[in-house]
Amino acid sequence: MFMKLKKYALLLFILTSTFSYAQEKILYKQIDSIKLYMEVHKPKNMNTSTKYPAIVFFFGGGWNGGSVYHFKPQADYFVKRGMVCFLVDYRVEKRQKTTPFESLKDAKSAIRFVRKNAQKFNIDPTKIVGAGGSAGGHLAAATALIDAYNEKQDNLEISCKPNALVLFNPVIDNGPGGYGYQRIKNEYKNFSPLHNIKKGAPPTILFLGTNDALIPVETVKYYKLVMDKVKSRCDLHLFKDQKHGFFNYRFFKYYKETLSKSDSFLQSIGFLNKNPIIEIE
């Protein structure tokens, strides 16, 4: 009996380990000795004559730390929906002793890399979604709205701007009183998404819990107001009494709800087909 259980446990470990591996891990950037990778997750049985929509995920962690696996559950779902998903690593303070500015440079490099290699990945370069949570949400929004902080080695002729944004309790205000101001200081004028919304901002869906200790509800309401003024779509969804990070997989109810609303949003802008809707697991 013990041996059978041991064999079963080993089989389970192998299976779960296999499913946790990326289909492909690619070096997208190197700065001196620092190598940065992104994991590429693709739908099964891809048709090489079809151009798929893509979604690029940036993990949260205050530009201090975090893991590329933060959004793997969401990526697993969207792969089933026919999207090519990218889980991006970027420089953070704990690992590379860097500032938020380097994090943003890396995020921009990642979007450019994906768009430059659109043919290789079988993706539509006009249907790239930037997504992220907390500081990763900042990076996704900033790639679309911030003109400064580009890596010298990047080809600036390749746009780093996503065509849509999916933001989970994002850090969008870095001004006085906003998140990260002590590190950003007066650079917030060129770094803070809220202070750089302009005409042509991509359609956005934004999620926030009303008890978020880091992102005030009034901040995201004002973000939506400014987006409305420049005539860019911004769907704001507030979740009563929820805290920062409520959308993560361990809070399955809200993980499922935010994922479902993201799916409907991407359908509405023509990035996903309307049927079938895959069961969220």
Tell me, what's the pLDDT at 4?
A: 42
What fold, for 26-268?
Answer: Rossmann fold (3.40.50)
Task: Please give the single-letter amino acid code of residue 98.
Answer: T
Cβ neighbours, 10 Å, residue 123: 24
CA separation (Å) from 241 to 210, 246, 261? 5, 10, 19
0.75 cut: is pTM over it? yes
Contacts with 15 (C-beta within 8 Å, 6 or more apart), sequence order: none
pLDDT in tens, the chain (281 residues): 434 434 443 333 333 333 434 589 999 999 999 999 999 999 998 998 999 999 999 999 999 999 999 999 999 999 999 999 999 999 999 999 999 999 999 999 999 999 999 999 999 999 999 999 999 999 999 999 999 999 999 999 999 999 999 999 999 999 999 999 999 999 999 999 999 999 999 999 999 999 999 999 999 999 999 999 999 999 999 999 999 999 999 999 999 999 999 999 999 999 999 876 677 87
CA dist., res. 248 & res. 264, Å (int): 19
- Quick one: tokens of 151? 């890596």
Q: Residue 28 in contact with residue 68, Cβ under 8 Å? A: no
Domain boundaries, the chain: 26-268
CA dist., res. 108 & res. 123, Å (int): 18
Q: Residue 29 in contact with residue 151, Cβ under 8 Å? A: yes
Residue 29 CB burial class (10 angstroms; 0-12, 13-18, ≥19):
buried
CA dist., res. 55 & res. 129, Å (int): 4
Q: Residue 57 in contact with residue 74, Cβ under 8 Å? A: yes
Name the nearest CA neighbour of 63 among 128, 142, 129, 146: 142
CA dist., res. 170 & res. 107, Å (int): 15
Task: Please give the single-letter amino acid code of residue 198.
Answer: K
Strand extents, DSSP E, the chain: 24-31, 34-41, 52-58, 84-88, 123-133, 164-168, 204-209, 234-239
